[in-house]
Structure 1
Amino acid sequence: MLTEHTVARAGLDAIALKPTECAVETARALPVDTLAIDYEGREHVPAAETLRALSREGSVYLTTPVRADGFDPLGDDSLWTDVPDAVSRILVAGHPAYLTETERERAVAPRFGRALESDPDAWVGTESVERIAMATGATQYDLLSRTTEQELQALRTAGFGGEIAVYAPTVLTTDDDAILDAVGEYVARRRPVSRELPDGAATDSSASARAREVLLAAATEYALVGSPEAVGERVERLRDSGATTVVGYPAQGLESLRS
């Protein structure tokens, strides 16, 4: 059975929270110093008082899509002005699903630059804007992939001395069915994985044969899965390769980390 100290056993430095899935204030009981709150639409941004309470317990980062109205440092930044000063940003281009057509057309690079002027400690999400993110010199916020360790080593060898945070869906169990129910759909969306999957294959615990094999293999590459100790070993390899912070998203729900 997992314990309240499961997060520590897994070696995670931070926990990622999705406001649509949990009451983010309940994460204060977890043994981590850093919380990273994902963006799932402006209507789900936690209240200022909730963010303020969380920041009294440790570091809090709030994902802000710089092209979205409300978080645009070159336009409407009304949502950000309500965020407590103690909360730092994770600057991202923004998933198209959460952006209007007008927002999707806005330039990312100048918005990263302006936002970093006011929050130089912000992290910068690299998804789809890797070169722009690297050019900022800020903490890089990468999604775990099958090539992350090699890429980290290459960056360090090339002389990049900045901070690199790695985000990964996390499933602290060895049960294959539970792993597929938690992250099967997520890993199936990764392009190298989708190319290997049979057409129309199930992506959850009902997956079978070739699809099941592909999905379980991908889960070990694009997510942190297994016993807390096994995940801890993977986290340590990421650190040895150059990661400075490993952020786990509890894909089975926040309660899975303390049940």
Structure 2
Amino acid sequence: MLTTSTVARAGLDAIALKPTECEVSAAESIPAETLAIDYEGRDHVPAPHVLESLSADADVLVTTPVRADGFDPLGDDSLLAELPASVSRVLVAGHPAYLTDEERERAVAPRLGAALEDDPDAWVGTESVERIAMATGATQYDLLSRSTPHELRALRAAGFEGELAVYAPAVFAEDDDAVLDAVGDYVARRRPVARALPEDAATDASATGRAREVLLKAVDDYALVGTEREVNEQTDALREAGATTVVGYPARGIDRVLE
């Protein structure tokens, strides 16, 4: 069960981890029932014994790009064999930055279908493949955006009864500089924000003028920001709209959710 830690006070159902930014094994101390491990290249997939240890006290999901060698259910699936049986998956098309030219050309839909046959409880990341993801009927794993509450309500109104998980960076801070240092780059990569930003503008605490205005306005659309109580209000609102799971990535480090 969740304790009275930041995780619980902020209303987060799960914690997302980036292997290049933290020792994933440290997550054993996070009182979360679910841990979602992001994919940042095959060299950064946690060792099987680490995943096995984490899964002793939490549900662990490892993000696996179905087009990538090692995780391709219709080709090289050698890395899948190394995942412990106790670990489930988040199936994604795969960010182009982590794929070769050949991998980017592979069809997503048949690979998602084959992967779900092997792991029917897997979540499906919706980024860039929203319609295909919805067609699977699996747990939808969506990135928080301005339109997320509306989309959640629309899906529920249309009769979708499946699981809807929402991913967002979580920043437990109110100082603008701290917020921009934590999620400025992330927010700047979202297409509407990128279009609105001045060319070559700084995206961290050093941002000024129009760039700073755009970034700070966009932060609330793409991240959970504020005090624990304020973040809790945001997670409650997402669940009221139809989300079943809110996954927070501790953008200022996992130490912030061990307090």
Q: What is the CA-CA distance between 1:7 and the residue it aligns to?
A: 1.3
Q: Counterpart amino acid of 1:54? A: L
Matches within 5 A, 1:101-116: 101-116=101-116
Alpha-carbon offset, residue 6 of structure 1: 1.0
Q: CA deviation at 1:253?
A: 1.1
The 5-angstrom pairing of residues 126-137 of structure 1 reads 126-137=126-137
Verify the 8 A CA contact 1:4 1:257 in the aligned structure 2: no
The equivalent residue for 1:178 is 178
- Partner of residue 74, structure 2: 74
Query: CA-to-partner distance for each residue in 1:175-195, whole Å, 9 max, x for gaps?
Result: 110000010111111111122
**Is this contact kept in 2: 1:169–1:250, CA < 8 A?**
yes
Per-residue CA deviation, residues 130-155 of structure 1 (Å, 9 max, x unaligned), is: 00000000000000001100000001
- 1:14-69 deviations in Å (ceiling 9; x for gaps): 00001111111111111210000011111111111100000011100000000011
- Are 1:205 and 2:205 matched, yes or no? yes
Aligned CA-pair RMSD: 1.1
* Paired residue secondary structure (2:91): strand
TM-score, normalised with respect to structure 1: 0.97
> The residue matched to 1:78 in structure 2 has which SS?
coil
Deviations 1:68-111 (A, max 9, x none): 11000111111010110110010000011111111111110001
Structure 1 residue 29 and structure 2 residue 29: aligned?
yes
Task: Name the residue aligned to 2:189.
Answer: 189
Q: How far 1:258 sits from its partner (Å)? A: 2.6
**Deviation of 1:217 (Å):** 1.2
**1:46 aligned counterpart, secondary structure:** coil
Paired letter, 1:240:
E
- Percent identity reads 70
Does the 8 A contact of 2:13 with 2:245 survive in 1? yes
Q: Does 1:93 align with 2:93?
A: yes
Tell me the equivalent position of 1:19: 19
Q: Does 1:58 align with 2:73?
A: no
Q: Partners of 2:46 and 2:232 in 1: how far apart?
A: 30
Q: Whole-Å Cα distance in 2 between the matches of residues 102 and 209 of structure 1?
A: 42
Q: Does 1:256 align with 2:256?
A: yes
Is it true that 1:146 corresponds to 2:146 in the alignment?
yes
Alignment partners' CA distance in 2, 1:4 and 1:202: 37
Q: What SS does structure 2 have at the residue aligned with 1:50? A: helix
Q: Distance in 2 between matches of 1:103 and 1:241?
A: 36
* In structure 2, C-alpha distance between the alignment counterparts of 1:199 and 1:101, rounded to whole Å: 27
Q: For structure 2, list consecutive stretches of 5 or more residues without a partner in the other structure.
A: none
Q: Which residue of 2 aligns with 1:120?
A: 120
Assess if the C-alpha contact under 8 Å between 2:29 and 2:258 holds in 1.
no
Query: Which residue type is aligned with residue 159 of structure 2?
Result: G
- Name the TM-score, length of structure 2 as normaliser: 0.97
Q: CA deviation at 1:4?
A: 7.1
Q: CA deviation at 1:256?
A: 2.0
- SS of the residue aligned with 1:72? coil
Q: Using the alignment, how far apart are the partners of 1:196 and 1:102 within structure 2?
A: 32
CA contact (8 A) 1:13 1:34 kept: yes
